[in-house]
Chain A
Amino acid sequence: MTEPKKIKKPRGKARLIEGKCIACGARCESSCPVNCIVMNDAGEPIVNESACIGCLKCIKICPAQAIEMFFTPEEQQLLHQLAAEGSSTPAVEEEDPEARALAEKLSRYRGVWVFIEQTEGVPATVSWELLGKGRELADTLGVTLSAVVLGEQVENLCHEAFAYGAEQAYLIDSPVLRHYRTEPYLKCMCTLVDKYHPEVILMGATGLGRDLAGAVATVMQTGLTADCTGLAIDDKRNLMQTRPAFGGNIMATIMCDKFRPQMATVRPHVMPMTDHKQSAIGTIISEPCLVQEDDILVKVLEILNDKNKDHVDIAGAEFIVSGGRGMMGQENFSLLHDLANELGGVVGASRSAVDAGWMPQERQVGQTGKTVRPKIYIACGISGAIQHLVGMQDSDIIIAINRDKEAPIFEVATYGIVGDLFQIVPAITNRLRDLKQLKARS
């Protein structure tokens, strides 16, 4: 007895659609199970058609829909034939048992959490920024947004969290949590995660947040993406975590599709601040603290504050006006101070200005000084030696003012102004003042 010979469904070959590739960074290459895709110098794929098995993986992963399946005319004929037959016998897609188990495991995790960071009761603003983003994610997922508050006498922060969009707050209030120490915070976080199974946890990429997030991810055996600049949800409820990679040359979207919770940290000022709704209310879920003081090896004896009154943190500033040798003298830095004041920023300096004694060492930007990444960096009279560039080239916007149009600073500048800074800087300052006055009047 012989079965009637089945017609094999042609699977086709992957083919690049000319001109659509965005050179995303070889995602198709890495997705190909038979290694039949290699990248050319321009970062576009070259498909070895004879080796392609038509698995569609590259097509699915391509962010620009630049790959299509290609069928020979004979194969197309077969496809038509099959389509005609198929209408009578609908094909049932077979479900992979592995995928099913995974989906089941993942479905146990629901809800978006934001860790509310506080130091001696003072919350970090990045937490409120994250609640804004968390609200968006929770809405997309159709789940609740929760704040996680750990500390001593910090219940007020739960109410603050509601005002910034959280629906509920998990609170562990204990003297053990008074000062941040990795061990008790880690244990409390893990207890909460084990009990409530959130699918997303967001933390601020601060010193504290980076420490805690890494520890939690390690214990929970899940993934963590640090310093995300974008967060979104894909059609399978996965968190798409976008961050710059390879020195900012590409943006990588990182997924954690097989493990939960999905964890991400975000730097301060990356996500916009949300509105504060005083009237908002929510549920506080208080949990006991299971950590005993005696079990913790690290003791906080004393907190020494390194911030003196005149201390200016240029590394954290959003606007920096920097001066170099072109400033000609210490007295001229008042021009920069004026501009910085108008912008609400601070004054930085290049090494030569520091060396000349025009500015203190703590204001130095560059290889041997501070690395800064403000929203706007204005470089005045700085030629842009590599030692300086590496300290500021990651700023969002760089405005360079220099009389030498060949100065290397212009290679990294978003906007370059060739001219005399002693005219240009006051002109900008005055214009800002005028604009502010206009705004105030209207």
Chain B
Amino acid sequence: MTVNPILFAIMLSAALLFFTWNLWKRYGLIRLGRPDDRFDNIPTRLQEMFLYAFAQKRVLAKPFGLNHAVIFWTFLILLGANGTFILEGLIPGFSLEHLLPASAYQLVMFLFDAASLLALLCVIIAVGRRIFFKPSYLDSRYVKGQSFEGFLILSFIAMLMLAFFVMNGALIAVMGESRQFMPVSSFVAKLLATGPLHDQLFQTAQFAWWLHALVLIAFICFLPLSKHMHIITAIPNCFFKRLDKSTMLPREDFTPGNSFGVAKVTDFTWKDLLDSFSCTECGRCQDACPAQTTGKSLNPRQVIHTLKTNLLANEQRIRSGASPVLPLIGPEGEGSNTEETIWDCTTCGACLTQCPVLIEQMPKIIQMRRHLVEMEARFPEELLNLFENMEQRSNPWGIAPSERTKWTGTLDVKPFVAGETEYLFYVGCAGAFDSRSKHVTVALATLLDAAGITWGILGKEEKCCGDSLRRLGNEYLFDTMARENIELFRSRGITKIITQCPHCFSTLANDYRQYGIELEVTHHSALLAELLASGRLKVTKQSDIFGKTLYHDSCYLGRHNDIYAAPRQVIGAATGTSPSEFVRNQENAFCCGAGGGRMWLEEHDGERINLNRAKEAVDAGADTVCVACPYCMTMFEDGLKDANNETVSVRDIAEIVAEGLRSPDQNQR
């Protein structure tokens, strides 16, 4: 086969130049972001990259992901096929056949042939899915699942494969030789030999070669301009993933003249900007997001899309050092986030556990909240009350600190004294003030005593951990309170802490590490599981009064801290049977709606998140919803009332165990 290598070389060079130039421009844009050290711990990073990018771990988490995984792997093989194709086009007389031993050549050609078939099939399935079985989450406000771009890329791939088969098939037919190691091409050869073009086989091969070449060149040119850029960016994006908790945003330096949070696109870090070019608009985050599911303005996928659109729209001005024209936070429109969007987030982390390429949506939202709170003092009016109460009374409700010990009632609760008491029981604001949660506090205290654990409390000196403040972007107040707490812990010699609230747990165990204090923090679910397993805590009877139990994962226990098994074991040990599961469970669990400071905000739009979750519990036929978080408790009790359900009860796992501790003659509460 003769092609014009000069013509091909010119076209290919132009395409590669265009490709490199665009890539370089994108790279320059990414470098406009703020610094962020993501080069530590290289071995772990490499491992994560192989797991998520090459082994496609997250992609495969959903059934249809297999289709993508096959396309990805066949692409890796076909990189070789296209490399050979280019070399053959540029160097007359170049042939793999002459370079490789016969067996190796046959194997390689078989792989190319088979991979092309697989890729073609997968692309057809992908097109079919987009047309006939399109999941709703493929569409967002500005990007549709049935977009021209999506179909164009799929048809490019399909044409490449078809051209490959026709080219090889025609050549096989012309040569008249048998190439059984290329079964698909051989089959095409038979078709061609008997088809209408049987006398123009050579021209057909030449046409197919040029078609392949032109589509390849178009593909190269189009790639960096489209969402298919993820082919290039997703792999480094997985390498540069966040290795610590996504809730642990960087601390801020409160010195005069500093600005806080993210107001414009270049206030993000370079990794944030890389995220925006890695998004392939698959919509999985959007499907999992509690705000989006219940009809609110926030869509995590759109937050990332907005970032990219805003960056590109402001490109010229940013490069010339001017301030952007399209606001990052502004009225509704492509390329801007509304304030409403920013306040909708419950920080549940569902988007983070869904994203196949490890994009960090939620931390970006918190950074924008920081700007609104700390630079603009613009936040929903309900928060004014919260911030004041936190500042003045160190609890969300503004209740007098002296009431922190009211729950103790007739119990003999001792203050924490280092050396005499092993654990500090950090009761938490809800556990100390909320009358429903006080029952949980008393139950847990009873259990700790029954297990022979020595523990004490800080009483009226206990302060709020500051979780809601940090999630709401009031980093200044969080910083103040965290310092006070750490000072208190240090001065009292506190190292081991028990919490009953996953928010206290996560904040003390993770966020406080940024202040240089390593605390051994145990959430009561983990502690109870261990005590029950080791036999230090024994239930006298396995309670059957709870009926069918259903365990609800708290976001700050499960997704943010990977504690899934312990609370289930506790319920299993206490009732004799493992709890049933929600349809959306473990890392796919649906938020109760109270995280991220949403507990203190009104929910104006769409369905209430807690109602959505409560309905799921009712539909599952639960008698008792088991929770391990005071926020979930409140949200479920309210949600069940909203659903007009009076039969399903809500219990904390500590209450369930405590029930099993009662002697048989005691009546149930």
Give chain B residues whose Cβ lies under 8 Å from the Cβ of A386.
397, 430, 433-435
Residues 228-271 of chain A: 1 if any B CB is under 8 Å from the residue's CB, otherwise 0?
Answer: 00000000000000000011110000000000000000000000
A368 lies within 8 A of B382 (CB): yes
A352 within 8 Å of B by Cβ? Answer: yes
CA distance A61 to B35 in the complex (A): 61
Minimum C-beta distance from B604 to chain A (A)? 9
A390 lies within 8 A of B435 (CB): no
B400 within 8 Å of A by Cβ? Answer: yes
B382 lies within 8 A of A390 (CB): no
B400 lies within 8 A of A249 (CB): yes
A408 lies within 8 A of B435 (CB): yes
Looking at the complex, which of B292-300, B509-517, B634-642 is the stretch in contact with chain A?
A: B634-642
Given contacts A368-B602, A386-B435, contact A355 B382 (CB under 8 A): no
Interface residue from A247, A325, A355, A368 paired with B399 (Cβ < 8 Å) = A247
Give chain B residues whose Cβ lies under 8 Å from the Cβ of A355.
608, 642
A411 lies within 8 A of B435 (CB): yes
Give chain A residues whose Cβ lies under 8 Å from the Cβ of B642.
352, 355-356
A367 lies within 8 A of B397 (CB): yes
Interface residue from A246, A325, A361, A384 paired with B400 (Cβ < 8 Å) = A246
B402 lies within 8 A of A249 (CB): yes
B572 within 8 Å of A by Cβ? Answer: no
Q: Which of B382, B397, B608 has the most CB of A within 10 A?
A: B397
B393 within 8 Å of A by Cβ? Answer: yes
B398 within 8 Å of A by Cβ? Answer: yes
Chain A interface residue count, Cβ-Cβ cutoff 8 angstroms:
21
A371 lies within 8 A of B385 (CB): yes
Within 8 A of A (CB), among B233-247: none
B601 within 8 Å of A by Cβ? Answer: yes
Interface residue from A247, A387, A411 paired with B393 (Cβ < 8 Å) = A247
CA distance A355 to B396 in the complex (A): 22
Residues 263-285 of chain A: 1 if any B CB is under 8 Å from the residue's CB, otherwise 0?
Answer: 00000000000000000000000
B26 within 8 Å of A by Cβ? Answer: no
B641 lies within 8 A of A352 (CB): yes
CA distance A411 to B406 in the complex (A): 12
A39 within 8 Å of B by Cβ? Answer: no
A385 within 8 Å of B by Cβ? Answer: yes
Minimum C-beta distance from A404 to chain B (A)? 11
B641 lies within 8 A of A247 (CB): no
Minimum C-beta distance from A95 to chain B (A)? 42
B402 lies within 8 A of A368 (CB): no
CA distance A355 to B601 in the complex (A): 13
Residues 354-367 of chain A: 1 if any B CB is under 8 Å from the residue's CB, otherwise 0?
Answer: 01100001000001
Which bucket holds chain B's interface residue count? Answer: 20 to 34
B227 within 8 Å of A by Cβ? Answer: no
A385 lies within 8 A of B634 (CB): yes
Q: Which of A246, A355, A356, A367 has the most CB of B within 10 A?
A: A367
Residues 628-669 of chain B: 1 if any A CB is under 8 Å from the residue's CB, otherwise 0?
Answer: 000000100010011000000000000000000000000000
Give chain A residues whose Cβ lies under 8 Å from the Cβ of B386.
367
Q: Which of A247, A249, A368, A389 has the most CB of B within 10 A?
A: A368
CA distance A161 to B547 in the complex (A): 72
A390 lies within 8 A of B399 (CB): yes
Minimum C-beta distance from B434 to chain A (A)? 5
Give chain A residues whose Cβ lies under 8 Å from the Cβ of B397.
367, 386-387, 389-390
Interface residue from A352, A368, A408, A411 paired with B601 (Cβ < 8 Å) = A368
Minimum C-beta distance from A366 to chain B (A)? 10
CA distance A205 to B442 in the complex (A): 42
B600 within 8 Å of A by Cβ? Answer: yes
A390 lies within 8 A of B398 (CB): yes
Within 8 A of A (CB), among B611-641: 634, 638, 641
CA distance A247 to B430 in the complex (A): 18
Give chain A residues whose Cβ lies under 8 Å from the Cβ of B435.
384, 386, 408, 411
CA distance A352 to B641 in the complex (A): 9
CA distance A328 to B451 in the complex (A): 45
B538 within 8 Å of A by Cβ? Answer: no
B436 within 8 Å of A by Cβ? Answer: yes
Residues 458-471 of chain B: 1 if any A CB is under 8 Å from the residue's CB, otherwise 0?
Answer: 00000000000000
Residues 330-362 of chain B: 1 if any A CB is under 8 Å from the residue's CB, otherwise 0?
Answer: 000000000000000000000000000000000
CA distance A325 to B642 in the complex (A): 9
CA distance A408 to B641 in the complex (A): 16
Give chain B residues whose Cβ lies under 8 Å from the Cβ of A385.
434, 436, 634, 638
Give chain B residues whose Cβ lies under 8 Å from the Cβ of A246.
400, 402
Give chain A residues whose Cβ lies under 8 Å from the Cβ of B400.
246-249
Minimum C-beta distance from B469 to chain A (A)? 15
Minimum C-beta distance from B73 to chain A (A)? 51
Which residue on B lies nearest to A371, using beta carbons? B385
Which residue on A lies nearest to B406, using beta carbons? A411
Minimum C-beta distance from A412 to chain B (A)? 10
B434 lies within 8 A of A367 (CB): no
B399 lies within 8 A of A352 (CB): no
CA distance A84 to B103 in the complex (A): 131
Minimum C-beta distance from B441 to chain A (A)? 13
Minimum C-beta distance from B302 to chain A (A)? 27
Within 8 A of B (CB), among A51-99: none
Which residue on B lies nearest to A325, using beta carbons? B641
Residues 359-383 of chain B: 1 if any A CB is under 8 Å from the residue's CB, otherwise 0?
Answer: 0000000000000000000000010
Minimum C-beta distance from B667 to chain A (A)? 15
CA distance A246 to B402 in the complex (A): 9
CA distance A80 to B393 in the complex (A): 54
CA distance A351 to B639 in the complex (A): 12
CA distance A193 to B316 in the complex (A): 62
Give chain A residues whose Cβ lies under 8 Å from the Cβ of B434.
385-386
CA distance A384 to B397 in the complex (A): 14
Residues 381-404 of chain A: 1 if any B CB is under 8 Å from the residue's CB, otherwise 0?
Answer: 000111101100000000000000
Give chain B residues whose Cβ lies under 8 Å from the Cβ of A411.
435
Which residue on A lies nearest to B603, using beta carbons? A355
Give chain B residues whose Cβ lies under 8 Å from the Cβ of A389.
397
Which residue on A lies nearest to B634, using beta carbons? A385
A352 lies within 8 A of B638 (CB): yes
CA distance A246 to B400 in the complex (A): 7
Which residue on A lies nearest to B435, using beta carbons? A408
Give chain A residues whose Cβ lies under 8 Å from the Cβ of B430.
386
Within 8 A of B (CB), among A188-247: 246-247
Minimum C-beta distance from B391 to chain A (A)? 14
Minimum C-beta distance from A26 to chain B (A)? 13
CA distance A361 to B604 in the complex (A): 10
A367 lies within 8 A of B433 (CB): no
A367 lies within 8 A of B402 (CB): no
Minimum C-beta distance from A422 to chain B (A)? 18
CA distance A385 to B633 in the complex (A): 12
Give chain A residues whose Cβ lies under 8 Å from the Cβ of B602.
351, 361, 368
Q: Which of B434, B435, B600, B634 has the most CB of A within 10 A?
A: B435
Which residue on B lies nearest to A370, using beta carbons? B385
Give chain A residues whose Cβ lies under 8 Å from the Cβ of B641.
325, 352
CA distance A351 to B603 in the complex (A): 11
CA distance A247 to B386 in the complex (A): 16
CA distance A356 to B641 in the complex (A): 11
CA distance A5 to B127 in the complex (A): 115
Give chain B residues whose Cβ lies under 8 Å from the Cβ of A408.
435-436
Chain A residues within 8 Å of B, Cβ to Cβ: 246-249, 325, 351-352, 355-356, 361, 367-368, 371, 384-387, 389-390, 408, 411
Counting from the closest, the 3 A-B pairs by CB-CB distance are A247-B400, A408-B435, A368-B382
Question: Apart from A325-B641, A367-B382, A408-B435, what 9 extra A-B contacts exist at CB < 8 Å?
Answer: A247-B393, A248-B400, A355-B642, A356-B642, A367-B386, A368-B601, A368-B602, A386-B434, A386-B435
Q: Could you list some 28 contacts between A and B, CB below 8 A?
A: A246-B402, A247-B393, A247-B398, A247-B399, A247-B402, A249-B402, A352-B642, A355-B608, A356-B642, A367-B382, A367-B385, A367-B396, A367-B397, A368-B600, A368-B601, A371-B385, A384-B435, A385-B436, A385-B634, A386-B434, A386-B435, A387-B634, A389-B397, A390-B397, A390-B398, A408-B435, A408-B436, A411-B435
